[in-house]
C-alpha cells in the first residue's frame, strides 16, 4: 500500500513537472512573440519618423516615389490601373494611357512591367478565356501617353508594320528647358549610340542591380567608373577647328537617320511647351534632338542634359523659383515627355482610321501651371 502511494505521488509530481514546463514554454514563447512585436513596432515607428522628416523637406523626392509606386504593387493591381487608363478599345485593339515610371519590358531590378500583366489585363477587359494582348510598339519607362495593344497576333503584326513603314502619325508634348530658335522647324541629324562615363552614385542603377550576380565573376568591374550606353548625334558635317571651314565627316555605319518636327506651343519661365512629331522612330531621338540639336533638353531629362557626362539637370534660377525647387533636388524631377496623340489606319484593309488622344498626367499639368505655360493664351 505504501509502495502504491509512493507511485501515485511520483506520477503526480511528474505531471506537475510537465505542466510547469508547458507553462514555462508557453511563457517563453509568448515573451519571444512579444519581443518580435516590439521590434516590429519600433521599426514601423522609425519608418514613420523617417517619412515625417523626409516628406515636408523634400516634396520633389516624395513625388518621385509616388510616380514609381507602380513598381511595387501586385500585378493584379497594376492590371486594374492599366484597365482604368484605357481610352479606346474595339475588336482589334486596346489603347492605354501609359503611366509614368512603368517599363514596357522587364529587366534587372524591374518587378512590374506592361508585358508581364498583359494576360491579366486581357481577362479584365474581356473574359477569363480571352487571348493575351500583344504589344504593337513601345514607350520609354519615363514616357507617358498613348500605347496601342492588339487583341491578336495577326493584328499586332499589321500594326507593327504600320509603325515600321511610317504610316502612323505620332504627336508628343514635351516641356523643354530653354526656347528653340526658330520657334518651328525640322531637326534632321543622324543618331548613334555611344558610351558615357558616370561618376554619380545615383546614376549607377545598372551597377546596383547587377552587383550581387556579377561580383563573384567580375570583382574588378566595380573598381572602375561605370559606362552607360546612350544615344548621341552623328552629324554629316563639322567645322574645322583651324580655319572654321565646313568639312564633311566620315559616315558612321551605325548611325541611323532621325528626323523630328517641332513647334513651340507656349513659352514662359525659361521653358517651352513643345509639340513634337517624330518622322522616324529611332531610340530616344526626340530627347537627343532637343538636347543636342536644339540645345533645349526636356525638363527632367538628366540623361541627355550634358554632352559628355551623366549628371542632374542644371535649371535656370527662374525655373527653380517657379517650381519651388532647390537645384540639389532637381535630380528628382520626372521626365516631361508625353505621347499625346496617335493616328493610324486599322482593319485588314486599313479602311478604319482612328485618332487617339491622351491627356498628360497630373504632374505634367501641375508643372505647366507652375511655369505659367498656358496654351490657350498663346
Q: Which residues are catalytically annotated?
A: 140
Q: What are phi and psi of 81, to 5 degrees?
A: -60, -45
Strands 271-278 and 226-233: unpaired
Q: Tell me how far apart the alpha carbons of residues 200 and 341 are, in angstroms, rounded to a whole number.
A: 35
Residue with cell 510547469: 20
Residue with cell 482604368: 84
Q: Tell me how far apart the alpha carbons of residues 197 and 309 are, in angstroms, rounded to a whole number.
A: 6
Q: Tell me how far apart the alpha carbons of residues 241 and 277 are, in angstroms, rounded to a whole number.
A: 34
C-alpha cell at 334: 520626372
Q: Tell me how far apart the alpha carbons of residues 148 and 86 are, in angstroms, rounded to a whole number.
A: 10
Q: Tell me how far apart the alpha carbons of residues 284 and 138 are, in angstroms, rounded to a whole number.
A: 12
Measured distance between the N- and C-terminal CA atoms of the chain, rounded to whole angstroms? 112
Return the sign of the alpha-carbon dihedral for residues 42, 44, 48, 53.
Answer: positive
Q: What are phi and psi of 201, to 5 degrees?
A: -60, -40
Amino acid at each position: 500500500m505504501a509502495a502504491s502511494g509512493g507511485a501515485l505521488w511520483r506520477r503526480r509530481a511528474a505531471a506537475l513537472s510537465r505542466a510547469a514546463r508547458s507553462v514555462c514554454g508557453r511563457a517563453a514563447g509568448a515573451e519571444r512573440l512579444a519581443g518580435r512585436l516590439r521590434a516590429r513596432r519600433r521599426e514601423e515607428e522609425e519608418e514613420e519618423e523617417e517619412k515625417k522628416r523626409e516628406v515636408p523637406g523634400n516634396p520633389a523626392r516624395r513625388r518621385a516615389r509616388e510616380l514609381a509606386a507602380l513598381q511595387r504593387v501586385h500585378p493584379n493591381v497594376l492590371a486594374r490601373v492599366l484597365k482604368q487608363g484605357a481610352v479606346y478599345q474595339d475588336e482589334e485593339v486596346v489603347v492605354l494611357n501609359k503611366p509614368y515610371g512603368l517599363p514596357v519590358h522587364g529587366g534587372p531590378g524591374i518587378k512590374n512591367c506592361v508585358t508581364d500583366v498583359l494576360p491579366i489585363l486581357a481577362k479584365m477587359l474581356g473574359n477569363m478565356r480571352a487571348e493575351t494582348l500583344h504589344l504593337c510598339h513601345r514607350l520609354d519607362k519615363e514616357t507617358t501617353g498613348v500605347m496601342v495593344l492588339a487583341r491578336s497576333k495577326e493584328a499586332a503584326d499589321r500594326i507593327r508594320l504600320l509603325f515600321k513603314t511610317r504610316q502612323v502619325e505620332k504627336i508628343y508634348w514635351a516641356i523643354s528647358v530653354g526656347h528653340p530658335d526658330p520657334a518651328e522647324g525640322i531637326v534632321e541629324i543622324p543618331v548613334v549610340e555611344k558610351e558615357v562615363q558616370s561618376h554619380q552614385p545615383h546614376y549607377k542603377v545598372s551597377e546596383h542591380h547587377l552587383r550581387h550576380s556579377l561580383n563573384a565573376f567580375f570583382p574588378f568591374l566595380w573598381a572602375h567608373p561605370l559606362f552607360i550606353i546612350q544615344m548621341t548625334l552623328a552629324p554629316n558635317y563639322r567645322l574645322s577647328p583651324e580655319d572654321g571651314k565646313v568639312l564633311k565627316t566620315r559616315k558612321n555605319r551605325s548611325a541611323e537617320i532621325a528626323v523630328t518636327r517641332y513647334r513651340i506651343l507656349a513659352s514662359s519661365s525659361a521653358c517651352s511647351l513643345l509639340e513634337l512629331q517624330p518622322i522616324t522612330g529611332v531610340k530616344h531621338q526626340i530627347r537627343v534632338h532637343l538636347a543636342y540639336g536644339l540645345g533645349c533638353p526636356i525638363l527632367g531629362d538628366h540623361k541627355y542634359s550634358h554632352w559628355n557626362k551623366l549628371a542632374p539637370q542644371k535649371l535656370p534660377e527662374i525655373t527653380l523659383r517657379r517650381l519651388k525647387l532647390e537645384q540639389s533636388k532637381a535630380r528628382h524631377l520626372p521626365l516631361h515627355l508625353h505621347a499625346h496623340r496617335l493616328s493610324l489606319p486599322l482593319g485588314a484593309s486599313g479602311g478604319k482610321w482612328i485618332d487617339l488622344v491622351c491627356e498628360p498626367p497630373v504632374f505634367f499639368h501641375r508643372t505647366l501651371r507652375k511655369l505659367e505655360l498656358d496654351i490657350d493664351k498663346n
